[in-house]
Structure 1
Amino acid sequence: MKLAFAIVTVAGIAIGLALPAAKRAPAVAATAPAAPAEATPVPTVIDRAPSGHFLTVANVNDEPIRFVVDTGADTVALTQDDARRAHIAFDPAHFEVIGRGASGPVRGQAVRIAGIDLDGKRASDISGVVLAESDVSLLGQSYLRHMSTVSISGDTMRID
């Protein structure tokens, strides 16, 4: 089993995360120029892959990265290749033990991610890690907790 999968277990139960409604800016007087309309985020619906995982692509610092959506992971975890592609600074010489998996210590480096966008659902200044030995990136709770809801029903995950 790959190290990344030994780190966390993909949750198989429905998880609903409720966040307070975002504070809205006060209304602008009619004489002010109209702000450009922002695209409304669309729900993300992901079918379970034959591997049993929920796979998606999200933009990390405007670069597309393939993820396993892992509701059991505390943070976003990136492979070294994905972190480089997303222009995230890290140094393998500074990798340290950041957790324990089924196979023992997990090495990596804590990082900050400027932004992650999944179907228009953007979160900024996200905590993450770059893993020393992983071939898959994980979209974990440091991003998912910014969503209104994350739920799993049968073989379908929905993120709003």
Structure 2
Amino acid sequence: MDMQSAFDAIAEIIRAVPRSGLLAGTIVALFIGWIGALMLRKRIAGGRLVRTVSTLALAGILLTVFFQLARFDPRLDAVTELGMPEQRIVGEETLIPMAADGHYWLVAEVNGVPTRFLVDTGATLTAFSTRSAEQAGLYPRTGGLPVLLNTANGTVTADLTTVDSLRFGNIEAAGLDAVIAPNLGQTNVLGMNFLSRLDSWRVEGGDLILDPGPANDN
């Protein structure tokens, strides 16, 4: 990442602060820690307590960030489902033919709203454009940490959200985590955090075959 890209990424995070309780909380905790250090330096009573409160707050924020981002890794579902909806995919094998452009496209019902997706094995996260998210009634998670995404338009911040229901073919997903990316354009992406929860996925004869597996409770 060059210097300009780094500055752009920092600027995106700064602009996201008012929208993120976690980022705002981090700044407050750091400020409290600075006050505690100043109190200790000047030998003011209570400085150590203030520093301890700041440290505990930062540790809590760090754990929250870990749990939010770990939700995209199915290997950690047993841990990250604590207090959050279970992410599961059920159904039967579904075939998706290759489109004329060489990609795999599908139309899924997201919370009952038809939504077109590009199935992208190179995308880590399932992502929605702002318009598609609004149509499907998806909203940024309260207190969620904005995620940085690299797109054709540069690095942008995306908000975490949870998809209650996503259905296509013989497959239904529930509680799936995703992001809302404002600069994604009109393309929604079904990424690896969905595909990796399937029992298997493969390409045969040019067709993409998705198999949730028997009684899959991912």
Unaligned residue ranges in structure 1 (runs of 5+): 1-18, 20-39
Give TM-score scaled by structure 2 length. 0.49
Residue identity (%): 26
Distance 1:112 1:133 in 2: 19
Aligned residue for 1:140?
191
Distance 1:52 1:106 in 2: 27
3-state SS in 1 of match to 2:165: strand
- The correspondence of residues 7-18 of structure 1 with structure 2, limited to 5 A, is none
Distance 1:110 1:80 in 2: 12
Distance 1:80 1:104 in 2: 17
CA contact (8 A) 1:95 1:107 kept: no
Displacement of 1:41: 3.2
Q: Which of 126, 131, 154 pairs up with 1:81?
A: 131
Unaligned residue ranges in structure 2 (runs of 5+): 1-73, 75-89, 212-218
CA radius of gyration, larger in: 2
Aligned residue for 1:109?
159
Q: What's the C-alpha RMSD, in Å, of the aligned pairs?
A: 2.6
Give TM-score scaled by structure 1 length. 0.64
- The correspondence of residues 10-159 of structure 1 with structure 2, limited to 5 A, is 41-90=91-140, 98-101=148-151, 103-134=153-184, 135-159=186-210
Higher strand share: 1
Higher helix share: 2
Displacement of 1:153: 3.0
Query: How has the CA–CA distance of structure 1 residues 41 and 133 changed in structure 2, closer, same or farther, with 3 Å as cutoff?
Result: same
Query: How has the CA–CA distance of structure 1 residues 43 and 158 changed in structure 2, closer, same or farther, with 3 Å as cutoff?
Result: same
Distance 2:197 2:168 in 1: 11
Equivalent pairs, count = 120
